[in-house]
Amino acid sequence: MAKLITKEQTARQQSFIMKLKEENMRYAAQNGHSRLALTETYGCQQNENDTERIRGMLKEAGFEFTSDTNAADIVIYNTCAVRENAEQKVFGRLGILKHIKENRRDMIIGVCGCMVQQEHITEKIKRVHEHVDLVFGTHALYKMPELLYKAMHEKKTVVDIEQSDGAIAEDIPMLRDDSNKAWVSVMYGCNNFCSYCIVPYVRGRERSRTPDAVLREVRELAAKGCTEISLLGQNVNSYGKDLDTETDFSDLIRMVNDIDGVERIRFMTSHPKDLSDKLIHTIAECDKVCKQLHLPFQAGSDNILRQMNRKYTKAEYLEKIEKVKKEIPNISLSTDVIVGFPTETNEDFEETLDVLRKVEFDNIFSFIYSRREGTPAAKLDFVLTDDEIHKNFNRLLEVQNEISKRKNDAYVGRVERVLVDGVSKTDENVLSGRCDSSKIVNFKGDKSLIGKYINVKITESHTWSLNGEVMED
């Protein structure tokens, strides 16, 4: 059973929230406006969910928010360690902030999350970016009010990157941007140690929230009118293994399915080795669970899968997919793929393409391998050149784009139930939402439809989205 952050510790953080709030009220009274905070998130949905906690604590402490770096009194970057380019972006941003801070001495700059949970990164920040005031890792997130208070009052960089398998902090205030959809973390950390992945080192071992805590959060969301719940964990199929109860992830889904007000349930991520028949039946049987499955296969060659420590073969993966398709005929499938793992040859890569062709995923999230210091794969030598890896990556996209377009073509003429998210990013006269299978659907409609479920007839397909027309009731 995972350790919980104690009530005393929670109360301590609450007292720092109150201290910050008093200061912020004084500031607002003197200046005629509140102090402004800016948060920026890199990486996965877990990080997005963590940023919602950071913003919740800041809001309760009396900060308002801005997206203008020049106007911000506090900037917090919640960082990702999964790929090198996300780290480079953060370092680039810190370089820009240095100049802004030269004229704004009181500005507080914070960096948190997976990237700074790695000691060599924190050392680099301390050495090269002395203008950073606050550094805290994934395990110290709940202590942000205290750390921020210290950073605002002590004239030195405050650092907390305690190494721990992590305790669970319940009852942290959250500020969510979207009132119709919510991420709900069901577990944290990962025990799988895929050889290329830094996550188990920066997020600690698997620990599940109790079913009571998860269900309480979902009920509260549903009571406020939030209808789409996405259950979140690095490997949701391991949910419950560390709990004293018999509840596993399938049981948890069924409990969420019974909550009034919830209309859609999604979840991610599932590790193929742990995808059980029970979970497949649960997706098929629960009316609110979207018929959509994200099942990362990463590579098609058994040799590469072994070196990645993925603990399944290509044949085993394909067998699971066949089972899923048989039980849930209209399921929409997506996956993650890594191209250019150090020992991958062109022949190995052909096996990856073979999986794409056999499964016919609706869409894929593809990445070129990124070397992560401290992982076993970082010690391996590359077989292919950069150029060859990029050529393979482009071929992968070509093959998948053709499949995705074909999959989307099959939607034309169908009527899809769409939850309207907002105005399209590319055309302000067009609304955008997602259908049950999570495909983006664009259509003309009145802004009053935002937040509602409506029926849309699909009239046109693209590789990444669908166009449609609102159906009259």
Q: Minimum distance between the CB of residue 272 and ligand SF4, rounded to whole angstroms?
A: 10
Binds ligand SF4 by CB under 6 A, chosen from 151, 174, 190, 328: 190
How many residues contact ligand SF4, by CB under 6 A? 10
State in angstroms the smallest separation of the CB of 370 from ligand SF4: 12
* Residue placing its CB nearer to ligand SF4 in the complex, 297 or 443: 297
Q: Is 210 or 234 the residue whose CB approaches ligand SF4 more closely? A: 234
As beta bridge partners, residue 78 has 41, 112
**Alpha-carbon distance 454 to 450, whole Å?**
10
**Residue whose C-alpha is closest to residue 175's, from 61, 78, 59, 38:** 59
Q: Of 13 and 46, which CB lies nearer to ligand SF4 in the complex structure?
A: 46
Output 373 or 427, the one with its CB closest to ligand SF4: 373
Tell me: does residue 194 bind ligand SF4 (CB under 6 A): yes
CB atoms < 10 A from the CB of 85, how many? 12
Q: Which is nearer to ligand SF4, 63 or 196 (CB)?
A: 196
Task: Give me the least distance between CB of 203 and ligand SF4, in Å please.
Answer: 8
Minimum gap (Å) between residue 395 Cβ and ligand SF4? 23
Binding mask 197-216 for ligand SF4 (x = CB under 6 A): x-xx----------------
* Residue ranges with strand state E in 369-452: 415-423, 430-435, 440-444
Pick one of 234, 250, 363, 461: the residue that binds ligand SF4 (CB under 6 A): 234
Output the smallest distance, CB 309 to ligand SF4, in A: 8
In angstroms, give the least distance from the CB of 199 to ligand SF4: 4
Residue 451, amino acid: G
174 or 199: whose CB is closer to ligand SF4? 199
Min dist CB 122 to ligand SF4, Å, is 21
Closest approach of ligand SF4 to the CB of residue 212, in Å: 26
- Residue 284: in which H helix or E strand, if any? helix 277-285
| Helix, strand, coil in percent for the chain, rounding step 5 | 40, 20, 35
Question: Which range touches ligand SF4 (CB under 6 A), out of 36-44, 104-112, 186-194, 260-268?
Answer: 186-194
Strands 465-470 and 453-461, bridge-based pairing: antiparallel
State which residue, 235 or 437, has the beta carbon closest to ligand SF4. 235
331, 270 Cβ separation under 8 angstroms: no
Q: Which distant-in-sequence residues (6+ apart) come within 8 Å of 242 by Cβ?
A: 1, 2, 206, 207, 208
Q: Which is nearer to ligand SF4, 190 or 290 (CB)?
A: 190
> What's the DSSP call for residue 242?
T
Q: Measured between alpha carbons, how far is 381 from 145 in angstroms, rounded to an integer?
A: 44
H or E segment and range at residue 348: helix 346-359
| Cα dist from 317 to 146, 235, 272, 313, 331, whole Å | 46, 16, 7, 6, 16
DSSP state string for 19-85: HHHHHHHHHHHHHSS--EEEEEE-SSHHHHHHHHHHHHHHHHTT-EE-S-TTT-SEEEEEE--SSHH
On the 0-12 / 13-18 / 19+ scale of CB atoms within 10 A, 47 is: buried
Of the candidates 336, 366, 166, which has an alpha carbon nearest to the alpha carbon of residue 268?
Answer: 336
Q: Which of 10, 45, 69, 192 binds ligand SF4 (CB under 6 A)?
A: 192
CB of 194 to ligand SF4, least distance (A): 3
Using the minimum distance from each CB to ligand SF4, give the nearer residue, 117 or 461: 117
Binding mask 255-284 for ligand SF4 (x = CB under 6 A): ----------------x-------------
> Which residue, among 321, 336, 293, has the nearest Cα to 196 in the 3D structure?
336
* Residue 235 binds ligand SF4 (CB under 6 A): yes
C-beta of 264 vs 314, nearer to ligand SF4: 314
Shortest gap between Cβ of 464 and ligand SF4 (angstroms)?
24
List residues near ligand SF4 by CB under 6 A.
190, 192-194, 197, 199-200, 234-235, 271
